Amino acid sequence: MRFEKPTSTTAVADALKNPFGGQAPSVKTIGTGNTISITTSYLIGESGADSEELVTQKLNEGLSLIKDNKYEVLKSITVGPTIADDLKAAAILAVIISWVIMFLYILIRFKKWQFAAGATIALIHDVLVVMSVFSIFTGILPFSMEVDAAFIAAILTIMGYSINDTVVVFDRIREFTGIHHTLDQKTVINNALNATLSRTINTSLTIFFVLLAIFIFGGDVIRGFTFAMLVGIVIGTYSSICIATPVVIDFAKEKKILL
C-alpha cells in the first residue's frame, strides 16, 4: 500500500488489529516511509470467493481510523496452500542444512566427533523446545505467534547464538584437557564448565534484558519474533552447558579420549 504521507507501521498495525479479529497484522516499510507491506492471517482457513473481498473491507474499515492520510492498494496477493507448503519445505530445509554445516564446522574445529555430536544435538533440542513453546501458547498469549519467515529467522538466529556459546564452552574444555593430563576426564570437564559459567550467564542476561525491553516496548508487530528470541536465549544458554557437554561425555566412553 502507498499512503499520501509517511505513516507509522505501529499505528497501521494497531488500527487493523480489531477489524482483523484481534490479531495485529505484520506491517513493514518498503523503501520510502509511505509505502508499506501488510500481511495478515485473517480468514486464512477460508477458501470462498468472497474471502478476499471481506479482507479488503476490513482493511478499509481499520485504515479509516488513520485521519488525513489517503492511501491506495498497489498490489494484493493471496497465499494458497501450495505456496504455504513450499515455504514450509524451504524452512525445514534451511534448518536441516544449518544443522549439517554446524556439525561439520565443530568436527573440523575440534577434531573429535563427540564434540560435533554434542553441539548438533543441543541445536536440535533448542529448535524443538522453541517450536513446542509456540505450539503450546498459540492462542493463549495475547499477541501473534504465527510461524512465518520472521519465526524462521528467529530460529536460525537462536541456533547461531547457541553454537557460539557452545564453542566457547568447548574451547575452555579443550584448554583444560590440554593442561590437566593427570586429572580424571570428567573432573577436568566439570572444572572447565565452572570456569565458563559466569561468563555464559552474564552474556545471556545482557542479551535477555535488551530483548525484554524490545518485547515490552517494540509493539505487536515484532512481539512474536522477540518472544521466540527470549525463549531461545534461555534455552540456548542452558543447552550449551547441560545438553551439549553431557552428550560429549556420554559419547566419550573411553577415559582420556578427549585429552
Tens digits of residue pLDDT in 30-71: 766 678 888 887 877 776 667 778 888 888 888 887 777 788
* Residue range 172-202, pLDDT digits in tens: 988 888 787 777 878 888 888 898 988 889 9
148: pLDDT strictly greater than 90: no
Spatial distance between the Cα atoms of 27 and 254, rounded to a whole number of angstroms: 55
Give the CATH H-level superfamily of domain 81-251. Answer: Multidrug efflux transporter AcrB transmembrane domain (1.20.1640.10)
Q: Do 105 and 184 contact (CB within 8 A), yes or no?
A: no
Residue 67 to residue 29: CA distance in whole angstroms: 19
On whether the CB atoms of residues 115 and 248 are closer than 8 A, the answer is: yes
- For residue 100 the three cell numbers come to 549439517
pLDDT mean across residues, the chain:
84
Residue % of the chain over a pLDDT of 70:
90
Return the pLDDT at 189. Answer: 85
- The answer to whether 241 and 199 are in contact (CB under 8 A) is no
d(CA 241, CA 96): 23
How many helices (H) and strands (E) would you count in the chain?
8, 4
Q: What is the reported pLDDT for 26?
A: 81
For the record, the C-alpha cell of 90 comes out as 524451504
Nearest CA to 9 among 253, 246, 222? 222
Q: Which of 32-46, 84-98, 231-245 has the lowest mean pLDDT?
A: 32-46
For residue 256, pLDDT beyond 60: no
- Please answer whether residues 14 and 27 qualify as being in contact, where contact means their C-beta atoms are separated by less than 8 angstroms: no
Residue 95 confidence (pLDDT) above 70: yes
Evaluate if residue 81 carries a pLDDT over 70: no
Q: How large is the average pLDDT for residues 75-82?
A: 70
Facing residues of 36 across strands? 29
Give the whole-angstrom CA distance, residue 133 versus residue 23.
19
Query: What is the location of CATH 1.20.1640.10 in the chain?
Result: 81-251
Query: Which grid cell sits at 239?
Result: 543447552
Give yes or no for residue 132 having a pLDDT over 90. Answer: yes
Question: For a pLDDT cut of 90, what percent of the chain falls above it?
Answer: 27
**What is the per-residue pLDDT for 235?**
93
Stretch 213-242: mean pLDDT:
87
Per the listing, cell 510461524 goes with: 147
pTM of the model: 0.70
